Amino acid sequence: MDLFLWGISNALTPENLLYAFLGCLLGTLVGVLPGLGTVSTVAILFPFTTYLPPTGMIITMAAIYYGAMYGGSTTAILVNVPGEVPSVVTALDGYQMTKKGRPGPALAMAAIVSFLAGIIGATLIAFLGPSIARFALSFGPAEYLGLGLFSLTAIAGLSGRSMLRGAIVALVGMILVLVGYDLGSNLDRLSFGNVNLLMGFEIVPVMIGIFGVSEMLRLFQEGSDKLAGAKIGSLMPNRQELRDGLAAGARATAISFPLGLLPGMLPSVTSFLSYSFERQRSKDPDKFGKGAIEGVAAPEAANNAAAMANLVPLLALGVPTGPSMALVLAALTIYGLIPGPLLFTQHADFTWTVIGSFFVANVILLLLNLPLVGLWARIAAIPMPILAPAVLVICLVGSFSIRSSMFDVTVTVVFGLLGWAASKAGWPLAPMVLAYVLGPMVERSLRQVAQIGPSLLLERPIFWFFIFLAMAAVYFSRQLWVEKKMEATERA
Amino acid sequence: MVRQRLVESALLIALSVAALIDSLRVFGLKSATQTQAAHVAGYEMLLGGLLVCLTIIYLLRDGRVPGHDWANEKGLARAFVAFGILLAYALTLPFLGYMLGTALVLIALLRIFSSYRLVPIVALSSLGCVGSAWLWAELVIALPKGFIPWP
């Protein structure tokens, strides 16, 4: 607890406060732009944070992440353009509230429950992170192999409607990450004598391509013009709305934080689960989809609670649970900080300041976003023909700035086309990014296990526990998609 | 529509075959020790083999199910035009430089995808590329200069 409070006080230094403030501002600014989700926002802005010191960089990135999440729900509520998948659920009732002339209470409720879920989540990270990290200190190659396989299975199963497609995309990611020099053996793979390919595909240009550029190509394709701005009016929810919304937010936080600790449990999945739960337990389920405040509060709280929980496996085990976390991991490794058990001991000052900054960023977001909601609504109405070219230029400059390489710029453009085509054809993209990050860990562990002897696996119960979890993830993902399909049929 | 599955499968098979062939090359490398080469190539071979197997399952299971309806997809040409402009920008940036390349790409995109007249488009693009060039210079991002040695 002392370390947590010390972390908060450290996050309150003028320099760190400035990073958190700028991150929240930039994240919301880009997040409110229609079509740009959390992952795209983090991917686009990531290269520009590499110029900051390590702590400042992670604080800014985390703040960008939260800011973008809030921005995504703003456009979902005001103009029915969800910037990201979790906001699709928010848009169901949020936009209906806007149509009924009550966008203010919907926005305020989204901000309040996001704040509360974020604060609870940050506190739980402080309690759970060190315990999980201590447990992970006993992990060897077999355990990391099991953890990697479980994470990949879970993300492949939960990020799309087809487990098979998810697994194929994950394998593609694992093959693409092999391109270039293998530092362990000094051998090159899949470079075919090409000097550029010897350097391999850097994760940031790949992510900017498949999430940032592909989104802009989609906007160009749809050719949507200026979006209609909505009048905000009063922000204050009435007493009944406040009571119902806060209760729904509390339930969603309780469900989503534990689920968010598991790889593959992206905020989009927990938002959907919380919304379904609220609808099922409601005495009047027909009001959902017609402007129910619980329909705004539950997915927003779930989204934030899961986003916070996603940070626990990242910081304690070094395992990202989604594409945004994969970028945070990439950010940490730029500075030679390897997320995992040792982060809490060898870099305790850094880790606790970052955890403290999660707390502070949530407060800043609440203070920043409610008064500025009118401004965000106006920014959301920027015409697409101006927005998309500007974002594209930022994407390409961002990917260039990582290694000052024109090859990376071309990689971004090509992966942009691939990402656009793949998402149109219904292929999930998250498993590829996760495989990109987890692939080297799986390979390293597999090689170590092969060197020691495969019989090692028989002696490690935690490895088998992860294999059991992987099988459970397969079963659970099937159940989840059956349920979701039934709900879609019911709704139709 | 069913052809989409075949194209997807062909691309996946091509990638896995590339991995398998490359793994054989790595396996035969004399510069590495036998164990090292076996581990590095074995992993690559494992992934390539798994991808072939899953692609065949995908083709057998979903091969007859209609895929995305690309033929009736609206705005496909717009997306490809935008991609073409972007690719041209990426390939010519080292020669044209950031200022000229960005101005041209902004003019092209705004001219094709917006209903604004040419004068505001040129003004907006010029302002955008000068402003952004200044911002990148402030962030110490050294972009290709090309014909215009500024900033």
**Does A447 lie at the interface with B, CB-CB under 8 angstroms?**
yes
Percentage of chain B with pLDDT > 70?
97
Strand A180-182 with A187-189, pairing: antiparallel
Question: Three-state DSSP class for A208?
Answer: helix
Scan residues 84-123 of B and list those with Cβ closer than 8 Å to A.
86-87, 89-91, 93-94, 98, 102, 105-106, 109-110, 113-116
Q: What is the model's pLDDT at position A159? A: 66
Percentage of chain A with pLDDT > 70?
91
Q: What is the model's pLDDT at position A246? A: 93
User: Mean pLDDT throughout A346-369?
Assistant: 84
Work out the mean pLDDT of chain A and round it to a whole number: 83
**Lowest mean pLDDT across A58-62, A81-85, A154-158, B102-106:** A81-85
Q: What is the model's pLDDT at position A474? A: 83
**Lowest mean pLDDT across A72-81, A227-236, B18-27, B56-65:** A227-236
Nearest CA in chain A to B41: A189
Question: Three-state DSSP class for A187?
Answer: strand
Q: What is the model's pLDDT at position A264? A: 62
pLDDT band at A34 (very low <50, low <70, confident <90, very high): low
Q: What is the model's pLDDT at position B52? A: 96
Nearest to A392 among B15, B75, B86 (CB): B86
- State the CB neighbour count (10 A cutoff) for residue A222: 14
SS3 content of chain A, % helix, strand, coil (to 5): 75, 0, 20
pLDDT band at A101 (very low <50, low <70, confident <90, very high): confident
Nearest to A221 among B35, B55, B79 (CB): B79
Rounded to whole angstroms, the Cα distance separating A317 from A286 reads 43
Nearest to B68 among A426, A447, A450 (CB): A426
Q: What is the model's pLDDT at position A265? A: 66
Q: What one-character-per-residue DSSP string does B43-100 give?
A: HHHHHHHHHHHHHHHHHHHHTTS-----TT-TTHHHHHHHHHHHHHHHHHHHHHHHHH
Q: Which residues of B touch A173 (CB under 8 A)?
A: none
What is the residue whose two structure tokens read 């083999």? B49
Per residue in A279-318, pLDDT tens? Answer: 888 888 888 888 899 999 999 999 888 888 888 888 888 8
Q: What is the model's pLDDT at position A35? A: 64
Q: How far is CA B107 from CA A393, B104, B125, in A?
A: 12, 5, 6
pLDDT at A480 over 80: no
- Point out which residues pair with A180 in neighbouring strands: A189
The residue among A271 and A246 whose pLDDT is bigger is: A246
Per residue in A237-270, pLDDT tens? Answer: 888 889 999 999 999 999 888 888 876 666 777 8
The residue among A90 and B88 whose pLDDT is bigger is: B88
Per residue in A396-455, pLDDT tens? Answer: 988 898 888 999 999 999 999 999 999 888 888 888 888 888 888 899 899 999 888 888
Nearest to A172 among B15, B37, B113 (CB): B15
pLDDT at A356 over 60: yes
**Lowest mean pLDDT across A73-87, A123-137, A356-370:** A73-87
Q: Is the dihedral of CA B26, B30, B31, B34 positive or negative?
A: positive
> Of A208-222, A388-402, B109-123, where does the model show the most confidence?
B109-123
pLDDT at A484 over 70: no
Q: Give the distance from residue A450's alpha carbon to the nearest chain B alpha carbon, in angstroms.
A: 8
Rounded to whole angstroms, the Cα distance separating B67 from A389 reads 30
pLDDT at A7 over 80: yes
H or E segment to which residue A375 belongs: helix A373-380
Rounded to whole angstroms, the Cα distance separating A432 from A439 reads 10
Q: Which residues of B touch A171 (CB under 8 A)?
A: 47, 50-51, 54
User: Mean pLDDT throughout A336-345?
Assistant: 78
Rounded to whole angstroms, the Cα distance separating B4 from A425 reads 9
Percentage of chain B with pLDDT > 90?
60
Q: At what angle do helices A406-424 and B76-113 cross, to 10 degrees?
A: 120
Rounded to whole angstroms, the Cα distance separating A159 from A83 reads 17
**For testing the chain A interface, which of B15, B27, B39 should be mutated: the one with the most A CBs within 10 Å?**
B39
